[in-house]
Structure 1
Amino acid sequence: MSAVSGFGKALVIITGASKGFGRALALSVAPRLAAGSVLVLAARSDDRLQELKRDLCRGESGLTVRCVAADLGCKAGVEKVLTETRDTDPDIDQLLLFNNAASLGDVSRYCRDFTDVDEVNSYLSLNVSSALCLTAGVLRSVPRRAGLTRVIVNISSLCALRPFPSWVLYCSGKAARDMMFRVLAEEEPDLRVLNYAPGPLDTDMQLQARSSSADDSLRNTFSVMHAHGQLLTCDQSISKLMTVLLDDKYPSGAHLDYYDL
Structure 2
Amino acid sequence: MEDVISPEGRDLGRAVCIITGASKGYGRTLALQMSRLLKPRSVLMLVARTADQLNQLKEDVITLYGHNKLDVRCVQADLEKKEGVEKTVQAVKETSVSEMDHLLLINNAASLGDVSRFALTFTDPSEVNRYLSLNVSSALSLTSGVLQAFPRGLGLRRTVVNISSLCALKPFPSWVLYCTGKAARDMMFRVLAEEEPDVRVLSYAPGPLDTDMQLQARRFSGDAQLRRSFSSMFSEGQLLSCNESGAKLIKLLLDDEYPSGAHLDFYEL
TM-score by length of 2: 0.95
- State the superposition RMSD in angstroms: 1.2
Deviation, 1:3, is: 6.8
* Amino acid across the alignment from 2:77: A
* CA–CA distance in structure 2, aligned partners of residues 145 and 179 of structure 1: 26
Deviation, 1:84, is: 1.3
* CA–CA distance in structure 1, aligned partners of residues 148 and 155 of structure 2: 17
Deviation, 1:145, is: 2.0
In the alignment, does 2:95 pair up with 1:70? no
Q: How does 1:96-135 map to 2 (within 5 A)?
A: 96-135=104-143
With 141-150 and 35-44 compared, the bigger mean Cα shift is at: 141-150
* CA–CA distance in structure 2, aligned partners of residues 5 and 208 of structure 1: 37
* CA–CA distance in structure 2, aligned partners of residues 54 and 124 of structure 1: 32
* CA–CA distance in structure 2, aligned partners of residues 128 and 68 of structure 1: 20
Q: How does 1:1-261 map to 2 (within 5 A)?
A: 4-58=9-63, 59-87=66-94, 88-145=96-153, 147-261=155-269
Q: Give per-residue Cα distances to partners, 1:38-90, cap 9 Å, x unaligned.
A: 01111110000000000011224420111011110011000111111114222
Q: Give per-residue Cα distances to partners, 1:173-196, cap 9 Å, x unaligned.
A: 000000000000000000000000
Is the 8 Å Cα contact of residues 3 and 243 (structure 1) preserved in structure 2?
Answer: no
* CA–CA distance in structure 1, aligned partners of residues 97 and 139 of structure 2: 24
Q: Give per-residue Cα distances to partners, 1:116-140, cap 9 Å, x unaligned.
A: 1111000000000000000000001
Deviation, 1:152, is: 0.2
Question: Structure 1: which 5+ runs fail to align?
Answer: none
* CA–CA distance in structure 2, aligned partners of residues 248 and 239 of structure 1: 14
Q: Give per-residue Cα distances to partners, 1:159-215, cap 9 Å, x unaligned.
A: 000000000000000000000000000000000000000000000000000100000
How many aligned positions are there? 261
Q: Secondary structure at the match of 2:36?
A: helix
* CA–CA distance in structure 2, aligned partners of residues 39 and 84 of structure 1: 12
- What is the aligned-residue identity percentage? 63
Question: Structure 2: which 5+ runs fail to align?
Answer: 1-5
* CA–CA distance in structure 2, aligned partners of residues 229 and 3 of structure 1: 33
Q: Secondary structure at the match of 1:193?
A: strand
* CA–CA distance in structure 1, aligned partners of residues 202 and 141 of structure 2: 17
* Amino acid across the alignment from 2:135: N
